[in-house]
Structure formats: C-alpha cells, structure tokens
C-alpha cells in the first residue's frame, strides 16, 4: 500500500467519524425535543422502565453480590498484610459506591437491555413499522424512541443503587460470615469513610450520565440501522461496543470533574 | 395490553426497593442529615488534634454518643472541634474531652468524661477541660533525646 493512499484512507475515516458524531448530536437534539414536549406518554414510559429496569434486576443484583464477594475476599487478603482488616467495609463500600456500581451496572445494562432496545427499534425499521407510524402522522421519535431513552435514563441510577447495596451485602457475606470479621467494624468503617455529597451523590450522577449515554446510543443505533436482517444484528452489536467504551471513557472525565 | 397492571406493579416495586436502597446509602452510610433530630452541639478547643477527622466517633465509656461535625482553626491558633452528641444527654458542665486512638494505628476518636457538676451543658457551649492527641513521633523523639542526654553525662 503506498503511503499517499494510506493517508487518504485515514482522512476518510476521520471525516466519517466526525460525520457520525454530528448525526448522533442532531439525533440527540431532536430526541430531546420530542421527549421534552407533551404528551408525556406515561404508560409507554412505565413499559420501558419495566423492560430496561425490572428485567435487568436479576443480572444486576446477582452480579453486584458476586462483585462484592470478590472485593471482600481480595480486600481482606490485602488488608490483612497491614493488620487493617477491620477497614474492609470502607474498601468494599467506597469501591462500589464511587466506581464499580455505576460502571459495571452500565456495562451490564448496555449488554442486557441496550442491545435489546437497539434490536427492537431496528426490527421496527426493517418491518417498516416506523414508516407506518409516520403514515398515521405519529412521530416515531416521540412515540417509540423517546420513552425508550427516558426509561433507560430513569432505570440506570436505580439499578446502580441496587448493585451497590447487593455488593455491600456480598462483601459482608464474605468478610463477616466466611472470614469471621467483625460485623460492627464492617459497617462503622463503611459509614465513617463514606460522604454523601462526595461519594453517594457522585456515584448517582455517574449512573445518570451512563443512563443518558446507553439510552441515546442504543436508540440511535436502532433508529439509524440499515433496513436488513444484518442491520438489526449490527445495531445490537455496535450498541454494546460503543456504549461500553463510552461508559469507560466518560467515567474518567466525570471522576476528574467531580473533584477527587 | 392485558398485562399492563402487572407490569406497573413490578415497576412500582422496583422503584420502591431502589429508593429504599438509596435512602439507606444516603442517610445511614453517607451520613446525609434530613430528618435526624438535632443533637446537642458542643465546642472543644485542643492544642493538637493529630489525625482526627470530621465524622469521627464521640464516645462516653466506649459507647458511641455522637460524632465530630466540624474542625476549624480558631483565632488563637488552637484547633476548634465541633461535636454533635445525642440531644437527650445531660452532660455535667465540667465534662472533659480527650482525643484518643483506637489501637496503635487505628482511627482517632473523642472520649468524653462526665464530671460531677449539677449544671449541664447546653447546645453551643464549650467544653473547658480538654486533652489533645498524643503524637507518637514526638514521644519517640523525646525518648531518644532523653536517652541521648543520659548517656552523654
């Protein structure tokens, strides 16, 4: 491959990326307009919170418990070296509240609900259901897409909270029941180390931002999917990939901006 | 949409449970104060507070009765510590406060020792008898100095 063609290909890739980002921004703006304007479509919203939230409950709670158990075990093994194993509660709790809760919940929900959301909208594109809605002069963005994105945004902080609670329980199960640590110390070190505004609120804001990311990326991928069967699977795949990477990248910037 | 009521019920349960978890994280773990009854607020000045942090425990005879609310530097360059203790405590006016350490490397906390004065401390009043933290490094430094001084004689 000669170098000139290589540079040209790089340029084409860069133009393509910027163009995709621009389309995504325009889509997000239109979606915001559609979601913010009445009617609220409460029943559609409840159905979407059910799909994104309630159906993700099992995977989120089980994963949270498992992560908490691992943190309890690893934390105990490390802390024991310094003779500080009574601080296990603080280690498990802070890791979960600040980082692991929002990030892992976002990754799990992107895989579990985000992909389904993108595939559902993409299938509607393929089967021309969205065109049918337009024929009846119903805006598909307002009727189908906006409640889905909003449902994801509402569900994510709630799921992240449950992930953290189950993680703390998991750490407790290993640290106190299995390894025989002190139950009172586990909770009191956790309570002393955690601040509401710095830790709990920071984690909630992370989860809300991740909800916006996953919700918008999933609906965008579905809405702009090619109208073929391959387009449906491509929409689901790229939702998981893009939403996961975006979560991890945004996580750094939110952490830096929140002022640790 | 035959299953709509069932679905709404599930969403309602989901939101309720998550909100309960959030309330626990914020109020109990995070120490957010919304409905907590206002406790007795006391001020104590120390020469040295060592590694005392806000939200450290305040105990009487080992029983937790409150926590450190704020630590400021007073005008006379002493550390001014604001304590919040259980509002129902009737502490004698000559109660003393000292900063102790749990174990050799553990967290620092404030121990109150009630005196015998019939008058009680009201909210906002100062604890006059205080004993600051013991800094391990200074103790060791003094010890080394003493040993050095002894051998040179």
Please provide the DSSP assignment of B85-143 as one string. E-TT---BTT-EEEEEESTTTS-EEEEEE----SSBPPTTPEE-EEE-PPPHHHHHHHH
Those of residues 141-160 in A touching chain B at CB distance below 8 A are 157-159
Query: Distance between CA atoms of B23 and B20, rounded to whole angstroms?
Result: 5
- Claim to verify: residue B16 and residue B66 sit in the same structural domain: no
Chain centroid to CA A24: how far? Answer: 18
Could you count the other beta carbons within 10 Å of the beta carbon of residue B126?
11
- Claim to verify: residue B7 and residue B58 sit in the same structural domain: no
Whether residues A204 and B22 touch (CB distance < 8 A) is answered with yes
Local confidence band at B36 (pLDDT 50, 70, 90 cut-offs): low
pLDDT surpassing 50 at residue B1:
no
Local confidence band at A188 (pLDDT 50, 70, 90 cut-offs): confident
Judging by beta carbons within 10 Å of its beta carbon (0-12, 13-18, 19+), is residue B144 exposed, middle or buried? exposed
- Claim to verify: residue B60 and residue B135 sit in the same structural domain: yes
At A127 the three-state DSSP class reads coil
- Asked whether residue A58 is domain-assigned, the answer is yes
Nearest CB among B4, B22, B28 relative to A191 is that of B28
pLDDT in tens, A245-259: 999 999 999 988 876
- Claim to verify: residue B19 and residue B86 sit in the same structural domain: no
Could you count the other beta carbons within 10 Å of the beta carbon of residue A94?
19
Query: Distance between CA atoms of B85 and B56, rounded to whole angstroms?
Result: 12
Nearest CB among B10, B21, B107 relative to A162 is that of B21
- Claim to verify: residue B86 and residue B128 sit in the same structural domain: yes
The answer to whether residues B45 and B130 touch, using CB atoms and an 8 Å cutoff, is yes
pLDDT surpassing 70 at residue A114:
yes
A146 Cβ contact list (under 8 Å, min separation 6)? A31, A34, A35, A41
B14 contact A CB<8A: yes
Local confidence band at B126 (pLDDT 50, 70, 90 cut-offs): confident
What pLDDT is attached to residue A158? 94
Whether residues A159 and B57 touch (CB distance < 8 A) is answered with no
pLDDT surpassing 60 at residue A50:
yes
Chain A residue at shortest CA distance from B26:
A196
Structure tokens belonging to residue A78: 């490390």
pLDDT surpassing 90 at residue A59:
yes
- Asked whether residue A11 is domain-assigned, the answer is no
Question: In terms of pLDDT, which residue wins out, A242 or A142?
Answer: A242
Whether residues A54 and B55 touch (CB distance < 8 A) is answered with no
Which residues span the domain enclosing A200?
41-257
Q: Taking Cα atoms as reference points, which of A132, A110, A127 lies closest to residue A221?
A: A110
Question: In terms of pLDDT, which residue wins out, B104 or A42?
Answer: A42
Judging by beta carbons within 10 Å of its beta carbon (0-12, 13-18, 19+), is residue A185 exposed, middle or buried? middle
What pLDDT is attached to residue B150? 58
pLDDT surpassing 80 at residue B4:
no
Whether residues B10 and A200 touch (CB distance < 8 A) is answered with no
Local confidence band at A35 (pLDDT 50, 70, 90 cut-offs): confident
- Asked whether residue B147 is domain-assigned, the answer is no
| Domains identified in chain B, total number | 2
Asked whether this complex has an ipTM greater than 0.85, the answer is no
A40 contact B CB<8A: no
pLDDT surpassing 50 at residue B7:
yes
In this prediction, residues B61-76 reach a mean pLDDT of 86
In this prediction, residues A208-216 reach a mean pLDDT of 94
- Asked whether residue B77 is domain-assigned, the answer is yes
Residue A53 per-residue DSSP state: T
pLDDT surpassing 60 at residue A198:
yes
pLDDT in tens, B72-91: 888 888 888 988 888 777 88
* Percent of chain B whose pLDDT exceeds 70: 88
- Claim to verify: residue B30 and residue B101 sit in the same structural domain: no
Query: Distance between CA atoms of A99 and A71, rounded to whole angstroms?
Result: 13
Query: Distance between CA atoms of B35 and A189, rounded to whole angstroms?
Result: 23
What pLDDT is attached to residue B149? 67
- Asked whether residue A242 is domain-assigned, the answer is yes
Which residues span the domain enclosing B21?
1-36
- Asked whether residue B15 is domain-assigned, the answer is yes
Nearest CB among A84, A97, A162 relative to B18 is that of A162
- Asked whether residue B151 is domain-assigned, the answer is no
Integer-rounded Cα radius of gyration of chain A: 22
- Claim to verify: residue B135 and residue B96 sit in the same structural domain: yes
A97 contact B CB<8A: yes
What pLDDT is attached to residue A1? 63
B18 contact A CB<8A: yes
- Claim to verify: residue B31 and residue B73 sit in the same structural domain: no
Chosen from A195, A198, A201, A204 to mutate, greatest number of chain B CBs within 10 A = A195
* Percent of chain A whose pLDDT exceeds 90: 53
- Claim to verify: residue B13 and residue B67 sit in the same structural domain: no
B70 contact A CB<8A: no
pLDDT in tens, A138-147: 888 888 888 9
Mean pLDDT of chain A: 89
Angle, vertex CA A102, rays to CA A185 and CA A219, nearest 5: 165
Nearest CB among B10, B19, B25 relative to A97 is that of B25
What pLDDT is attached to residue B35? 62
Q: Which of A53-67, A156-170, B120-134 has the lowest mean pLDDT?
A: B120-134
Could you count the other beta carbons within 10 Å of the beta carbon of residue A105?
32
A105 Cβ contact list (under 8 Å, min separation 6)? A60, A64, A156, A159, A160, A163, A207, A210
- Asked whether residue B150 is domain-assigned, the answer is no
- Claim to verify: residue B16 and residue B54 sit in the same structural domain: no
């Amino acid at each position: 491959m000669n170098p000139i063609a290589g540079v040209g290909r790089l340029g084409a890739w860069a133009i393509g990326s910027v163009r995709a980002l621009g389309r995504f921004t325009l889509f997000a703006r239109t979606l915001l307009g559609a979601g913010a304007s009445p009617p609220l479509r409460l029943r559609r919203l409840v159905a979407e919170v059910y799909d994104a939230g309630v159906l993700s409950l099992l995977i989120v709670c089980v994963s949270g418990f498992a992560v908490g158990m691992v943190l309890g075990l690893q934390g105990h093994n490390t802390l024991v070296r310094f003779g500080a194993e009574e601080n296990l509660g603080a280690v498990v709790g802070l890791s979960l509240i600040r980082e692991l809760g929002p990030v892992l919940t976002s990754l799990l929900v992107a895989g579990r609900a985000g992909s389904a959301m993108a595939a559902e909208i993409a299938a509607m594109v393929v089967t021309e259901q969205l065109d049918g809605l337009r024929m009846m002069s119903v805006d598909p963005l307002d009727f189908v897409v906006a409640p889905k994105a909003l449902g994801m945004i509402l569900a994510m902080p709630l799921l992240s909270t449950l992930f953290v609670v189950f993680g703390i329980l998991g750490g407790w199960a290993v640290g106190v029941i299995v390894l025989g640590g002190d139950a009172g110390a586990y909770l009191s070190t956790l309570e002393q180390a955690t601040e509401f505004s710095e830790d709990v609120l920071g984690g909630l804001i992370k989860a809300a931002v991740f909800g916006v990311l996953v919700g918008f990326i999933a609906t965008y991928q579905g809405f702009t999917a090619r109208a073929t069967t391959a387009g449906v699977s491509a929409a689901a795949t790229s939702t998981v990939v893009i939403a996961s990477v975006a979560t991890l990248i945004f996580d750094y910037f939110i952490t830096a901006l929140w002022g640790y | 949409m035959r299953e709509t009521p069932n679905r709404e019920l599930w969403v309602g349960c989901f939101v309720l449970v998550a909100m309960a978890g959030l309330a626990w994280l914020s109020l109990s773990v995070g120490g957010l104060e919304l409905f907590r009854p206002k406790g007795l607020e006391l001020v104590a000045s120390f020469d040295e507070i060592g590694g005392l942090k806000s939200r450290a425990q305040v105990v009487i005879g080992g029983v937790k009765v409150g926590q450190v609310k704020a630590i400021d530097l007073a005008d006379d360059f002493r550390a001014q510590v604001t304590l919040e203790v259980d509002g129902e405590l009737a502490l004698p006016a000559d109660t003393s406060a000292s900063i102790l350490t749990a174990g050799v490397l553990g967290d620092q906390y404030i121990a109150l020792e009630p005196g015998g004065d019939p008058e009680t401390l009201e909210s906002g009043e100062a604890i006059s008898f205080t004993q600051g933290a013991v800094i391990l490094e200074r103790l060791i430094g003094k010890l080394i100095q003493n040993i050095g001084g002894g051998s040179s004689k």
